[in-house]
Amino acid sequence: MIEVSREKFEELVAEALDTIPAELTRMMSNVVVVVVDDPPEPDLLGLYTGVPLTERGDWYSGVLPDRIEIYRNPICHICDTEDDVVEEVQITVVHEIAHHFGIDDDRLHDLGW
């Protein structure tokens, strides 16, 4: 386990977001990414809540933003070094953004994520 301050962890999440190709970030719509210390259930590193882009239709308007939560404490708990945290944050951010694009866990695992 490694300790990473909330401020530093938020910077790592921002850096991970900056690595997402611009053509994908331009397609992201009505979504917010936040750092949360602890997940609602054990063993979660991140969580996407919302309506994936692939499921939105004409009915989709006036709704609250989708939410991607990245959980600081569980990620720090499974990492031994700051480099491990950087890598795990990157993986988790990509994983949760993929859910925003309608990619499920099975497909992510098939793709190596």
- Other CB atoms within a 10 A radius of the CB of residue 110 amount to 10
pLDDT of residue 55: 93
pTM, entire model: 0.93
pLDDT of residue 31: 96
pLDDT of residue 88: 97
CATH code 3.10.105.10 for 6-53+64-111: no
Cβ(75)–Cβ(10) under 8 Å?
no
Sign of CA dihedral 36, 40, 45, 50: negative
**One pLDDT digit (tens) per residue for the chain, 113 residues:** 999 999 999 999 999 999 999 999 999 999 999 999 999 999 899 999 999 999 999 999 999 999 999 999 999 999 999 999 999 999 999 999 999 999 998 998 888 87
64 φ, ψ (degrees, to nearest 5)? -65, 155
CA distance 83 to 15: 13
Nearest alpha carbon to residue 8 among 66, 85, 79: 85
Tell me the domain boundaries of the chain: 6-53+64-111
Token reading at 83: 């480099």
